Amino acid sequence: MRAKLEILAMVLGIIGLAGTIAATALPMWRVSAFIGANIIVMEELWEGLWMNCYRQADIKMQCKVYDSLLELPAELQAARGLMCVSIVLVVFSLLITGCGTKKSICCNDNMKSKNITLALGGCLYLLSFLTTLIPVSWVGHTVIRNFYNPNVLDSEKRELGEALFVGWTTSAILLITGIIFLFSYSQRRSKEEEPYADMHVMVARDVSRADSVYLKKSPSSLHKHQEYV
């Protein structure tokens, strides 16, 4: 059962890696909001971490990479760095937990080393969950705040893009993956401690026997008298 659970966690980790890469690459972090005077528009704008894209009526979409990182708002600058960190963390988590699974041939079948490796991989998954959730939530909070801000022009207001929903879903998958690996680690630890507990009971029994005094049974005087008779 634990082996199947670890395989499930590995599959979820691969899905989490794909979701993290997709959320980082998609240009749809902030999209045009069709409100007020913008109900009928001839142009749609997508803003991502690396580029923005314009799509006009009957014209193919045109994308342009940002000329400078400094022209981006603070939340997109932070999101770019944190999402790249998330990708690196998930890659390392997959490699480390792959070596720590029960069916892996790494660590020369040393279960103690595998357990430590599995726990480390689970912690890295939880860290990647944070580095994915923070930028996505930060950008989403900024979009919602500006959307309801009356001082912001309708043409400058944005809505939540698909990349944000991909990021939130991916962060949930990474959280579940980390919890599964840490749960598997705790189960392994409990199995390791059982033989030590049985050994302690056996040692305690041996000590109690060693401390006891053995008295040899001697025949009574009446028994000796009957033997003479």
Listing from the earlier edge strand, what are the strands of the sheet with 30-32?
A: 62-65, 51-56, 43-47, 30-32, 158-160
pLDDT tens for each residue of 155-165: 778 899 999 99
Are the CB atoms for 47 and 72 separated by under 8 Å? no
Nearest to 97 by CA among 114, 111, 82, 76: 114
Distance, in Å, from the CA atom of 69 to the CA atom of 66, rounded to the nearest integer, reads 7
**Domains, the chain, ranges and CATH?**
2-28+74-206 (1.20.140.150)
Q: What is the pLDDT of residue 125?
A: 94
Distance CA 34, CA 39 (A): 5
pLDDT at 201 over 60: no
pLDDT in tens, 42-100: 678 889 899 988 877 667 778 889 888 888 889 999 999 999 999 999 999 999 888 76
Which residues are registered as beta bridge partners of 52? 47, 64
The identity of residue 51, as a single letter, is: M
